[in-house]
Structure 1
Amino acid sequence: MTLPDLSGFDAVVYDLDGTLVNLRVDWDEAARDAALVLREAGVEADAMDLWGMLDVADDHGVRDDLERELAAHERQGAWTSDRLPLADHLPEDGVPSGICSLNAESACRVALDVHELEPHVDAVVGRDSVATEKPDPEPLLATLEKMGVSPGSAVFVGDSARDEVTADRAGVAFRYVGDGPSGV
């Protein structure tokens, strides 16, 4: 894995899953459990992906219930997550650092704690921390605001095209953790 050059930036915001750690989440099981939450609300969701389920949950007033279900799966996956090579550089980067993730904030915090990275992170924004999720720029901008850093002086490091689009929309430099995008 090629590590990105992060020199020249006053702050670094990292995606979590696929960038610093790999959460061990059984996404098929999470989707089945999410579909049950929607079925209880009278919505047939078996053919939907998780993002579609989240959108439908908003429309039917069960977003909080669905978030709790998904967050439980993500926290479980965080407890058994694998640390990735870039995580070893986080304590040494020497600048304010934050996390902006599509995972639940509580799962991010578990993973950071498990891998002893929490003391090196100044702000954490997860899928459920703000009203929108990546690729909307709001989560990344909220992370930078919590860090007291302007978008023009920071870099966002991620593993997906969605992360790159988020950075572009927020006016933040972007670097891939590896050799390119892993999906949108």
Structure 2
Amino acid sequence: MQQTRFPQAVLFDLDGTLVDSAPDFIAVINRMRADRGRGAMELADLRPVVSKGARAMLGAGFPGVPASERDAWVQEFLDLYERELGLHGKPFEGVEAMLAALEAHGTAWGIVTNKPEYLARKLMPLLSWDSRCQVLIGGDTLPVRKPDPLPLLHAAQAIGVDASECVYVGDDERDIIAARAAGMPSVVALWGYRLREDDPFAWQGDVLIHEPAELCDAAAWPGVRA
């Protein structure tokens, strides 16, 4: 009889995968817009680009401003975000149950994000994850970031598992590209952020999951059939 088991380790993207951080980011964008004499932006208009990073969010918030000018605002954006960190956003529904299920079955878990490491680390105690997350790699921890596979490989090594025994979960195509290049099974988090034109079915992830709670079942995970 075929058995199923949880992976030895799981690595997660952060924004749009574990945490619905869009409410924090819209507070930042609207503060910047107000400071520049502009009205508020709707959360629904920012949400699709959150996983693309600060420059993409600034592009959505200030579409008429040249990219070269917006780039000079990135540090302001990050400084304001540090003040809003964790005040509005929270884990997606079902994430805590999923993490508890992994822990109950002895699965180590960690985070590989393109968010600056200092911001990701400041968020951990706000979520009570600082003693549970076994490795955290930020976008500036190493010389490269996703979609390069090195951050994923580095995180797996830090946990002490082979990449083939570690699953990566993310909501953006670069997450799946990085996992594939690392030889790591992948889960496409369909509950996350993506542009209307994005086609997650074309990313060639190993499995596509609609809700975090589905991952409380060992059979939902890729590459874990014994």
Is the alpha carbon distance of 1:91 and 1:180 closer, same or farther for their aligned partners in structure 2, counting shifts above 3 Å?
closer
Partner of 1:8: 6
User: Aligned Cα RMSD in Å?
Assistant: 3.2
Spell out the pairing of 1:25-174 with structure 2 (5 A cutoff).
Answer: 25-26=25-26, 28=29, 29=32, 47-48=66-67, 53=71, 71-80=78-87, 81-88=89-96, 89-94=98-103, 95-174=107-186
Would you say how many aligned residue pairs link Structure 1 and Structure 2?
Answer: 155
Rg larger for: 2
Q: Secondary structure of 1:119's match?
A: coil
Unaligned runs of 5+ in 1: 1-5, 35-45, 58-65
The answer to whether the Cα contact below 8 Å between 2:9 and 2:108 also exists between their aligned partners in 1 is: yes
Q: Tell me how far apart the structure 2 counterparts of residues 165 and 86 of structure 1 sit (CA, whole Å).
A: 25
Q: TM-score, normalized by length of structure 1?
A: 0.70
Q: Secondary structure of 2:128's match?
A: coil
The answer to whether the Cα contact below 8 Å between 2:6 and 2:102 also exists between their aligned partners in 1 is: no
Q: Tell me how far apart the structure 2 counterparts of residues 77 and 101 of structure 1 sit (CA, whole Å).
A: 18
Cα deviation for residue 48 of structure 1 reads: 2.3
Cα deviation for residue 178 of structure 1 reads: 2.5
The answer to whether the Cα contact below 8 Å between 2:146 and 2:178 also exists between their aligned partners in 1 is: yes
Q: Tell me how far apart the structure 1 counterparts of residues 5 and 79 of structure 2 sit (CA, whole Å).
A: 36
Is the alpha carbon distance of 1:7 and 1:70 closer, same or farther for their aligned partners in structure 2, counting shifts above 3 Å?
farther
Is the alpha carbon distance of 1:114 and 1:7 closer, same or farther for their aligned partners in structure 2, counting shifts above 3 Å?
farther
Q: Secondary structure of 1:176's match?
A: strand
Q: Tell me how far apart the structure 1 counterparts of residues 119 and 184 of structure 2 sit (CA, whole Å).
A: 25
The answer to whether the Cα contact below 8 Å between 1:13 and 1:97 also exists between their aligned partners in 2 is: yes
Unaligned runs of 5+ in 2: 33-53, 59-64, 199-226
Partner of 1:3: none
Counterpart residue identity of residue 20, structure 2: N
The answer to whether the Cα contact below 8 Å between 1:100 and 1:140 also exists between their aligned partners in 2 is: yes
